[in-house]
Each structure stands twice: as structure tokens, then as C-alpha cells.
């Protein structure tokens, strides 16, 4: 199908399953907090998303670092450079080791191409899933913390 070996496909699939499970657990613990007025359970429900975020981010950092070469200077970058030189120049304005984050956002949102190339669409989809994964993991903590604090405050009556 594709000649690229996209790194971490199995990890991303399992990580999104894990995030769905941990999100459900976090919200269930927040709901149970209404009925269980225990400070130990309150601490558990506060620490659950934080511990998850720390572990997942640590694993994800190892995967990003081990595959850092793939997008910046590796086979994906060479594919874009050879087949879409105008996009590559926007992504790397000062050469192969430079990087323009604003152009990157425009690239993954399809602003620089017509969307007809299947390989390029797969690259953009892969990059978007990495961003969603990081956002989901890191935004889960404050959302759960705020909801748990509000629930515990009103449930305990103090």
C-alpha cells in the first residue's frame, strides 16, 4: 500500500484505546465522588489523570525521540521534498534542519495542497493523530481536576 513505515502505528492505536478507558475511569470516579465523600478517594480521582498523563507522555516522548528523523530529515521529508518542493520550502524555509511551525499547522490542515495525493494525506493524518494524542493526554488532567474539585466542594458541603 504505502512504502513508508509509519512509526508507532500500533502504539497509537493502543494508546487511544487506553485514553478512552482512562477518560471513562476519570469521569466515573468524578461521578462516584458525589456519593463517596472520602478524601482518599478524592485524592485517587485527582491523581488518576495526572499519573496517566505522566506515563503516557513519557512513553510518547521516547517514541518521538526515537523517530525524530522521520519527519524532519528522514524518508517523509525526502518524499515531500522530491514530490512537493513548494510545500517543503514552506516547512523548511532556511534549509533541511529549519522548521516553520506555522507552515506545519497549515500543512496538516491541508492549506498547501489539493488533497489528491494519498501518501501526503496519510502523512497529514499521522501528524494530526500525534497532535490529538498530546492534546487529549494533557487536557484531560485540568478538566478532571477542575470537575473533581467542583464536585468535591459541593458534595462535601464545605
CB environment 51-73: b (16+ within 10 A), e (fewer)? ebbeebeeebeeebeeeeebbee
Mean pLDDT along residues 32-57: 79
Predicted confidence (pLDDT) per residue in 54-84, tens digit: 777 777 666 666 555 555 557 788 888 899 9
The model's pTM is 0.59
20-32: pLDDT as tens digits: 888 888 888 888 8
Q: End-to-end CA distance of the chain, in Å?
A: 60
Cell output for 145? 481536576
Q: How far apart, in whole angstroms, are the C-alpha atoms of residue 15 and residue 155?
A: 33
Amino acid at each position: 500500500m504505502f512504502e513508508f513505515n509509519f512509526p508507532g502505528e500500533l502504539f497509537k492505536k493502543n494508546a487511544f484505546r487506553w485514553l478512552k478507558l482512562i477518560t471513562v475511569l476519570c469521569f466515573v470516579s468524578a461521578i462516584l465522588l458525589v456519593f463517596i465523600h472520602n478524601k482518599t478517594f478524592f485524592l485517587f480521582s485527582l491523581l488518576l489523570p495526572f499519573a496517566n498523563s505522566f506515563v503516557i507522555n513519557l512513553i510518547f516522548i521516547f517514541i518521538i525521540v526515537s523517530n525524530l528523523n522521520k519527519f524532519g530529515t528522514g524518508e517523509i521529508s525526502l518524499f515531500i521534498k522530491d514530490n512537493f518542493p513548494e510545500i517543503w520550502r514552506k516547512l523548511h524555509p532556511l534549509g533541511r534542519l529549519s522548521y516553520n511551525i506555522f507552515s506545519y499547522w497549515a500543512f496538516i490542515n491541508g492549506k498547501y495542497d489539493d488533497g489528491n495525493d494519498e501518501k501526503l494525506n496519510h502523512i497529514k493524518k499521522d501528524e494530526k493523530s500525534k497532535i490529538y494524542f498530546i492534546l487529549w493526554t494533557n487536557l484531560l488532567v485540568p478538566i478532571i481536576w477542575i470537575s473533581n474539585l467542583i464536585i468535591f466542594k459541593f458534595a462535601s458541603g464545605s
